[in-house]
Structures are given as structure tokens and as C-alpha cells.
Structure 1
Amino acid sequence: MFIQPWDAGLDEAEWQTWIAEGHDFGLLSVNGLSGQAPVAVPTHFTSETGHLLVHLARPNPVWTAIEHDPNVLFTVFGDYAFIPGPWRAKPDTPPTDGVPTSYYTAVQFTCRAHIVDDPEAKAELLRRQMAYFQPDGDHAPISAEQPPYGRMLPGIRGLRLEVTDVRAKFKYDDHKPVEHRTAVADHLTERGQGLDVPTALQQRRRRDRIGPWKP
């Protein structure tokens, strides 16, 4: 992932906060076997100190690839929007001379994958995930010894993704003048399609922290 200096995360807390705000779905990318394309799996995940937790169906073709090479990439992205050219035109130039772009946040985790096959270890992984996704506890006990989860555990495998590196990108034209960023955020809020509003919130948040860009 290419990151311009003005698109870089301002500190670790920035991307950690963004993930914690509910960005819990990403793309697991695994090197393919020799001569084959990489394997990519969209999935929910949860995190704990230094690790991402995932579980997938046992028939998933990703397992062979992970066993061949456990070095994987997990990408989370969101708060994205297409920015039309006229919104980015320089002052005193025709609006049609503006060059369009995309705004987005992306966090990429480089990881070493550890497969979890022990029934009790899988049950514990699921308990951790359910504590996040269903914190009210409105589900049956997750036990390797009793239904319904006990009989279903053989059908899945768990993954503990040991995070070795994190790269965060917040692409919101932060090198442009403050007035420009404010105007684009206003356009996004007015348009209000898709993820326009959360994209505008990210742009305003970064604008307020950075102010005028200083290389």
C-alpha cells in the first residue's frame, strides 16, 4: 500500500481508535501455491493484544495456502467516497480541470498465521469473538463438550494472526489548503450517499488535527 506523507497515520492511537469504532470486517490475503493466484477471504475479526482472531469453515481453500506460507496480510478499509473532479479544481480554474480521486481509510496488518485446531482452544476463540459481537450473552454456552457448538466445532478452524507490522493510511487530501478540505467535506455531507457522511467526518477530524499541511 503506497502512503504519501500527508496520508500517513498521525500516531498509533489514530488507527487503533478507528478500528475500535466498529471497523471489524476485513480481507485476509494469503500467498497462493506456486503458480496459483493469492487466496483472499472476506471475514469478520476481533482483536486482542498483538493478535487478530478469525475463524473460517474447514473446507475453505485458504488452509492449504496458509500451511504452505503462514505470512499473511489482513486489510481493513472504510469511510470511503469518490470525489468528483470539480470539487478539487484549483481556484480560478475551470471546474472541469479538477482531477477526481478517492478518499478512504485503510489499515493493513502484516501477520504470521497460527492455525487453531484443538477443540477447547477453538471454543475459547469463539467465546472471545462472541464477547465482542454479542456482548449481551444472548447465545448458548460455547463449549467443546455440549451442543450446539460442540458438534459444530469440527467444521471450523481458528486463526490467531500474530501482528508483526501495521500500516495505516488516511487519504483525505490533507496536503490541500484548509479551505479546500472544508469545502469538500461540506460537499460530501450535502451529497449524503453511501459513506459520504463518515468520510466527511474523517476529513474534518484530520483537518482539525493537522491544520495547514507542513511537509
Structure 2
Amino acid sequence: MFIQPWDAALDEAEWQTWIAAGHDFGQLSVNGPPGRPPTVVPTHFTTDNGDLLIHLARPNPVWKVIEHDPNVTFTVIGDYAFIPGPWRAKPDIPPTDGVLTSYYAAVQFTCHAHLVDDPEAKAELLCRQLAHFQPDGDHALVAVDRPPYGRMLPGIRGLRLQVTDVRAKSKYDDHKPVEQRADVADRLTERGQDLDVPTARHQRRRLDRLGPWKP
């Protein structure tokens, strides 16, 4: 992932807060065997003491690939929007000469994958995921010897992804003038399509912290 200086995370807290704010779905990318393309799996995840926790169906072909090479990448992308050229045109040029771009936030984790096959460990992993995704506790007890989850555990495998490196990017034209960035955020809010509003919020947060870009 290419990161310009003005797109870099302002600090670790920025991307950690962003992930914790509900950005809990991403893509697991695993190196394929020689001559084969990488395997990519979209999935939800949770965090635990800096690790990422995932579970997938046992028939998933990704397991053989991970056993071949446990060095994986997990990528989370959000707060994205298409920015049309006229929104970015400088005041002294025709709006149609403006150059389009994409805004987005992304966090890319480099990880070492550890397989979780022990039934008790899988039950604990599911408990941690349910605590995140169903915090009200509106689910049956997850235990090896209790239905309904007990009989389902053999059908899944767990993954604990030990994070070895993190690269975070927020691509929101932070090197452009303050007035232009604020104007684009207003336009996104007004357009209000798909992820326009959270994209505008992310841009405004960066704008408030950075102000004018200083190399």
C-alpha cells in the first residue's frame, strides 16, 4: 500500500480508534503456492491484546494455503467515496479540468497466522467474538459440551493473527488548502450517498488536527 506523507496516520491512536469505532470487517490475503494467485477471504474479525481473531468454515480452501505459508495480510477499508474532478479544480481553471480521486481510510496488518483447532480454544475465540458483536449477550452459551454451539465447533477452525506490522492510510487530500478540504467535506455531506457522510467526518477530523499541511 503506497502512502504519501500527507496520507500517513497521525499517530497509532488514530487508526486504533478508527478500528474500534466499528470497522471490524476486512480481507484476509494469503500467499498462494508457486504459480498460483493469492487467496483472499472477506470476513469479520475481533481484536485481543493486539492480535486479530477470525473463524472460518473448515471446508474453506484457505487453510491449505495458510499451512503452506502462515505469513498473511489483513486489510480493513472504510470511509471511502468517489470525488469528482470539478470538486478539486483550482479556482483559476475550468471545473471540468479538475482531476478526480478517491478518498478512503485503510489499515493493513502484516501478521503471522496461528491455527486454532483445540475445541476449548475455539469456544473461547467464539466467546470473544460474540462479546464484541452481540454485547447484549443475546446468544446461547458457547461451550464444547453444550448445544447449539458445541456440536458446531468441529465445522470451523479459528485463526489468531499475531500482528507484526501495521500500515495505516487516510487519503483525504490533506496536502490541499484548508478551504478546499472543507468545501469537499461539505459537498460530501450534501451528496449523502453510500459512505459520503462518514467520509466527510473522517476528513474533518484530519482537517481539525492538521490544519494547513506542513511537510
Task: Report TM bin, short chain.
Answer: over 0.9
Aligned to 1:213: 213
Other-structure match for 1:203: 203
List gaps (5 residues or longer) in structure 2.
none
- Whole-angstrom CA distance in 2 between matches of 1:118 and 1:137: 24
| Matching residue of 1:191 | 191
Amino acid of the structure 1 residue aligned with 2:189: T
Q: Deviations over 1:137-182 (max 9, x none)?
A: 1111100112111110000000000000000000000000000001
Task: Name the counterpart of 2:101.
Answer: 101
Q: Which amino acid aligns with 1:111?
A: C
Mapping for residues 1-215 of structure 1, pairs under 5 Å: 1-215=1-215
Deviation at 1:202, TM superposition (A): 0.7
How large is the RMSD of aligned CA atoms in angstroms? 0.5
Deviation at 1:130, TM superposition (A): 0.5
Q: Identity of paired residues, percent?
A: 80
The Cα of 1:50 is off from its aligned counterpart by 2.0
Which whole-Å CA distance do the structure 2 matches of 1:112 and 1:118 have between them? Answer: 18
| Whole-angstrom distance in 1 between the partners of 2:52 and 2:95 | 45
Shift of 1:54: 0.1
Q: What is the rounded CA distance, in whole Å, between the counterparts of 2:183 and 2:139 in structure 1?
A: 47
How far 1:72 sits from its partner (Å)?
A: 0.2
Corresponding letter in the other structure for 2:199: T
Matches of 2:66 and 2:174, distance apart in 1: 38
TM-score, normalisation: structure 1 = 0.99
CA offset at residue 92 of structure 1? 1.3
Displacement of 1:34 after TM fit? 1.5
Q: Distance in 1 between matches of 2:194 and 2:172?
A: 16
- Deviation >4 Å, runs of 4+: none
Distance 1:160 1:27 in 2: 15
Q: TM-score, normalised by structure 2?
A: 0.99
